Amino acid sequence: MSASDFLREAENLRRLLSKEEREAIRRQDLRETFSEFHELNDQLHLRLRADITEAQQQLQKLKNGVFRFQRQLMDTKPSPDVVGRLKDTMTDIETSINMFKDTQHQSFEELLKDERTVWQEIGVLERKIEAWRAPVRAEVRVPGAGPARRSADTHRSVPVELAALDSFLQRTGSRGGWDELDHRSFLSVWTKHSGKHSFTREARLYLPGKSEEDLKQHELWFLELRRLQEKKREAVQRWREAKQRERDQQRDQQDRAGAEPEPEQERLKQEQRRREASERLENWRSRRTQEREQEQEQRLRNQILQRRRAKEEQRRQLEVKLRVEALVLQKKEEEDQRLMEEEEKRRAEREERQRGANEAIRRFQDRDSVRLEEKLQEKQSKEQERWERQRTLEKLKEKVEVSRDPSRLWRRTEVWEQRMRNIGPSGSGAAPLLHTCHRAVPAWRQDS
């Protein structure tokens, strides 16, 4: 490898090393920036989880209170004291719900205000970035009025006030070191508040990257610029008046002389006309610049108003949504309350019917037990009577003594012997009855 190749390779390696170092520095900066964003994101997530946990705890507390009220309503019997306690519990629950709703509404209002401020800051930053991306337009200058030509006779023909204004603008710039968008925002807010110190509070919303000290310094610069511009206008006015007097004097001299104007006077007139044309052009430029600034300010104001109206519309829609959700929740609570009351009423009716059925069953059981007891007593009494009768018969049997006579089985009874005596031995006498005698039939039944 030759020396030139070695040097060329070393130069390439040095460039590659410097490039890698710049890339490492850029990545380190990005890593630091992203680390800050990650930390901020983690903090916001922690705050969000804490808010969600707190809201869930409050909702769970309200839910437990409602369930406790429901159990008290179902497990207790109606009485004035119980009704008073239930009213107190219901009032506490309603107060807790209203406090929770007010807290959430206030937090939503604060979030909307923060969001409105952030959107304004983002809009200002976006416009600033767009202004950075826009190409720089070169200033149009009148031929013959360039700085090279004006510098030759600055100390000779320009008044002190104009020279002071030009030097001030060359030293500080036409916008005091600020970009055009920030300067226009400052002018709109400063004009709106008529130069009062209270404009800084609103200016911080339009200029989030500027501190209060920067606003004060720019205000001092702007006041100094206005003072110098006022002196310039006064000097121009005095110069115009002097020129007018000179023209009047020259006209008078020409009228008296009655001659043609000299070449020097003609040159002065041409110079005067050129200066007047330059002044008219400068005035037209200033008016055009003011009109553009006013148009830009009006567009900026319209954009802010549109965003504000959009935010107000979002806030109103959010309020309507919250109100509708509150009404839906209220309707649901009323429906749950109505269902609870109906369920309590049905439960009371079931308990009343159950008590009536239990009372009827108890009466029937008492009646059946009484009847069963009566039957048992009756049975016991009959059994007792039968036993007594049996015992009496046993006693009577023990007292009677009868001798056994086997011949009495075929012996005639006294009744049979008496009958045989009435019939007689030959069979005469009263014959046995062949039919039964009946009573006479009454006359009133014989025809039927």
The reported pLDDT for the residue numbered 1 is 57
CB contact at 8 A, 308 and 116: yes
What ranges in 174-262 are assigned the alpha helix state H? 180-192, 199-206, 212-257
The reported pLDDT for the residue numbered 402 is 65
CB contact at 8 A, 134 and 181: no
The reported pLDDT for the residue numbered 133 is 61
CB contact at 8 A, 73 and 86: yes
The H or E element spanning position 57 is helix 3-75
Residue 149 burial (CB count, 10 A): 10
Tokens 């400068």 found at:
282
What ranges in 134-211 are assigned the alpha helix state H? 147-150, 154-157, 160-172, 180-192, 199-206
Question: What does the alpha-carbon distance between residue 209 and residue 215 come to, in Å, rounded to a whole number?
Answer: 10
Question: What does the alpha-carbon distance between residue 380 and residue 372 come to, in Å, rounded to a whole number?
Answer: 12
- Sign of the alpha-carbon dihedral angle for 259, 264, 270, 275: negative
Task: Write phi, then psi, for 343 (nearest 5 degrees).
Answer: -65, -40
Question: What does the alpha-carbon distance between residue 32 and residue 43 come to, in Å, rounded to a whole number?
Answer: 16
pTM, entire model: 0.31
Q: For residue 165, with 0-12 CB atoms within 10 Å meaning exposed, 13-18 middle and 19 or more buried, which class applies?
A: buried
Question: What does the alpha-carbon distance between residue 309 and residue 270 come to, in Å, rounded to a whole number?
Answer: 57
CA atoms within 13 A on the CB side of 257: 10
Q: What is the DSSP string of 421-438?
A: HHH-SSS-SSPPPSS---
Predicted confidence pLDDT, tens digits, the chain (448 residues): 566 777 778 788 888 887 787 777 767 766 766 777 778 778 888 888 888 888 888 888 888 888 887 777 776 677 777 777 778 888 888 888 888 888 888 888 888 888 877 777 777 777 777 766 654 443 334 334 444 444 444 444 556 777 777 778 777 777 777 777 778 788 888 888 777 777 777 777 777 777 888 888 888 888 888 888 888 888 888 888 888 888 878 777 776 665 444 567 777 878 888 888 878 878 887 788 878 877 877 777 777 778 778 878 888 888 888 888 888 888 888 888 889 899 999 999 999 999 888 898 988 889 988 999 999 999 999 999 999 998 888 888 777 666 777 777 778 888 888 888 877 555 554 555 555 666 777 778 776 5
Question: What does the alpha-carbon distance between residue 174 and residue 286 come to, in Å, rounded to a whole number?
Answer: 13
CB contact at 8 A, 113 and 100: no
Tokens 């005469």 found at:
428
The reported pLDDT for the residue numbered 258 is 55
Q: Dmax over Cα atoms in the chain, in whole Å?
A: 226
The reported pLDDT for the residue numbered 155 is 44
Question: What does the alpha-carbon distance between residue 159 and residue 248 come to, in Å, rounded to a whole number?
Answer: 22
The reported pLDDT for the residue numbered 151 is 45
> What one-character DSSP code corresponds to residue 1?
-
The reported pLDDT for the residue numbered 153 is 45
Query: Which of 32, 105, 146 is closest to 321 using CA atoms?
Result: 105
Question: What does the alpha-carbon distance between residue 23 and residue 15 come to, in Å, rounded to a whole number?
Answer: 12
CB contact at 8 A, 73 and 344: yes
Domain boundaries of the chain, sorted by first residue: 3-133, 156-259, 261-324
Question: What does the alpha-carbon distance between residue 322 and residue 347 come to, in Å, rounded to a whole number?
Answer: 36
The H or E element spanning position 97 is helix 80-133
The reported pLDDT for the residue numbered 377 is 92
Tokens of 334: 């009323």
Q: Buried (b) or exposed (e) across 115-137, using 16+ Cβ within 10 A? A: ebeeebbeebeebbeeeeeeeee
Question: What does the alpha-carbon distance between residue 252 and residue 258 come to, in Å, rounded to a whole number?
Answer: 10
For helices 180-192 and 263-399, the axis angle rounded to 10 degrees is 80
